[in-house]
Amino acid sequence: MLKDYLRLHFIVLLWGFTAILGKLISVPPVELVFWRTLLASVGLALLLTLRNQGWRVPAADALRLLGVGALVAAHWITFFLAARLSSVSVCLAGMATLALWTSLLEPLLLWRRVRAYEVFLGLLTMVGLYLVSRAELDQLAGLLVAILSAGLSALFSVLNSQLVKRHAPLRLSMYEMAGACLSIALFFPVYSRYFTNGQGLHLALHSYDWLWLSVLAGVCTVYAFSSSVELMKRLSAFVVNLTINLEPVYGIVLAVLIFGSEEKMSLGFYLGTVVILFSVLIHPVLDQWMQRRRRKPEPAEAVV
């Protein structure tokens, strides 16, 4: 069990490293996500083949999975763009609003009841975001793009929560990575003409780009995902979700260690980040406590 816990934390550490890799790779965010999803879809296809798992899904579900893949592409593009527009730390502080977005989108899309404690934690997150934005006004654009990226991530997570009930996780992910890659390829003509200042696509990789891209696609995407699915068979959802919420913490620490003074922020930034992370980390604790209360049987009335 200890080995599983350590492995889970290592996977979350890898996910926290993705924003740093986005800074290290020289190609623009759109081209970067194209390469990442292309390599990841090939890697997942190889995994499916090695594990003798079928690829076939109904045509209607295939279209849904490819569509969700387009959302994944939009999320990753805005995520890497946020890391370029600001520091890695500010980007990850914005991404920590994922739980807030999920609490807003789940009642709308899944028709479940609004939970009072999620509203409270959402307001707490807004306070943290206010402190961060006031402290780092020069990086406000990156923070806003990161918040948008977190919203896109929450949207495809909510949609995936329904699709994963009908499809094996590896097959689902392979279709979504393929959908993300395909959607970017279809977007390339428009992107090249209107969003590159006439310079066209920058798909060529230079220097260490191949190394960092291989780590991003192979280690942080294919390995991390397939391993997390395996661990979910043995660890509770509560433990997994609580640990995943540590991703911004690991990412910010790694960014300070790697980029040094470039990632040093003001006191207000760290106060706001602590408030956001507190609301994120306490959410699964409150959620499990409320579930236990709902399952607790009512005391039997005394018979007179």
pLDDT of the residue at 293: 76
Amino acid (one-letter) located at 149: S
Q: How far apart are the first and last CA of the chain?
A: 50
Residues 6+ apart with CB under 8 A from 26: 205, 206, 207, 209
Q: What is the DSSP string of 22-79?
A: HHHS-S-HHHHHHHHHHHHHHHHHHHHHHTT------HHHHHHHHHHHHHHHHHHHHH
> Mind listing the pLDDT tens digit for each residue in 119-152?
888 888 888 888 888 888 889 999 999 999 999 9
User: Are 91 and 142 within 8 A, CB to CB?
Assistant: yes
**What is the DSSP code (8-state) at residue 52?**
T
Residue 219 has pLDDT above 50, yes or no: yes
Strands annotated E in 188-285: none
Which class for 44: exposed (0-12), middle (13-18), buried (19 or more C-beta within 10 A)?
buried
What pTM was estimated for this model as a whole?
0.87
Share of the chain above pLDDT 90, in %: 37
User: Are 137 and 272 within 8 A, CB to CB?
Assistant: no
Which is more confidently placed, 234 or 92?
Answer: 92
pLDDT of the residue at 169: 80
C-alpha distances in Å from residue 211, one per residue of 33, 214, 216, 289: 15, 5, 9, 44
Region 229-237 average pLDDT: 73
Q: In degrees to the nearest 10, what's the CA dihedral of 85, 90, 92, 94? A: -90
> Mind listing the pLDDT tens digit for each residue in 248-289?
888 888 998 888 877 888 888 989 989 988 888 887 788 778
> Mind listing the pLDDT tens digit for each residue in 6-51?
898 999 899 989 999 999 999 999 999 999 999 999 999 998 888 8
Averaging pLDDT over each range in 119-133, 220-234, 287-301, which range is the top one?
119-133
Rounded Cα distance between 117 and 283, Å, is 8
Residue 109 has pLDDT above 70, yes or no: yes
User: Are 132 and 90 within 8 A, CB to CB?
Assistant: yes
Q: Of how many residues is the chain composed?
A: 304
Q: For the chain, what are the domain ranges?
A: 2-295
